Structure 1
Amino acid sequence: MQKLRLALVTSAAAMLFSGLAAAQSAPPSQTPVQGTAAAVATPEMSDGEIRKIDKDGKKLTIKHGPLKNLDMPGMTMVFSVKDEAVLDQVQSGEKVRFLAEKVDGKITVTKIEAAR
């Protein structure tokens, strides 16, 4: 029984170390990339329509489709803006594509462009 247990432990260790050795010797093109920009997916922009521009409050009201990166369905809501200069670049009724992200606990428009 002792010999069988030792044989099983030895076999398991051999398989483990051979797998590690194979992973370390794989060419760079075949090794997974983790923690780099290449491995991070860029959030998808959403479609929307500007409903209201609040320059004093630095906010936009946008009727939008699903915000996939925030797991949020389509609706009309008020967003803070990361760069208040965008408030002068959009008009009420304009169709846009935008990216909203949580910034300091607030859902904020971080990128916006005219829809094509």
Structure 2
Amino acid sequence: MKKAPLVALAALLALAGPAWAQGVKGTVTQVDPAAGKVTLDHAPIPKLGMDAMTMAYKVKDPAMLKDLKSGDKVEFEADEVGGQYTVTKIQKSK
């Protein structure tokens, strides 16, 4: 078995980073641009030790909310920022 293609694939995956490899699937239930928040019904978030639930999250950048509406299927990442759970990346699922 040739190892070079596997090494090349591993290198490409490392360059891509874990960002969307660990994205959490969810559904937008509410968007509040004035508060800079989005409410998501989402799958578990293992890195935060969080079960599946519906919860309002602050967003890192309010511009992230521009194209979102209730019912949109999304993939997102969240972290604890300043003691508050915050969506750091979000995109509509394809």
Shorter-chain TM range is 0.7 to 0.9
The residue aligned with 1:23 is: none
Find the aligned partners of 1:73 and 1:58 in 2 and give their Cα distance. 23
Structure showing greater relative contact order (alpha-carbon pairs closer than 8 Å, 6 or more residues apart)? 2
SS at match of 2:65: helix
Q: Secondary structure at the match of 2:71?
A: coil
Amino-acid identity (%):
39
How far off is 1:108 after superposition?
0.3
TM-score, with structure 1 as normaliser: 0.62
Corresponding residue for 1:24?
none
Q: Where is the helix percentage greater, Structure 1 or Structure 2?
A: 1
CA RMSD for the aligned pairs? 1.4
Q: In the aligned structure 2, how far is the partner of 1:114 from the partner of 1:89?
A: 9
Q: List structure 1 runs of 4+ shifted beyond 6 angstroms.
A: none
Match of 1:72 in 2: 50
- More strand by percentage: 2
Give yes or no for the alignment of 1:82 onto 2:60: yes
The 5-angstrom pairing of residues 11-22 of structure 1 reads none
Q: Which ranges in structure 1 are unaligned for 5 or more consecutive residues?
A: 1-37
Distance 2:75 2:65 in 1: 15
Q: What is the aligned length? A: 77
| Matched residue, 1:46 | 24
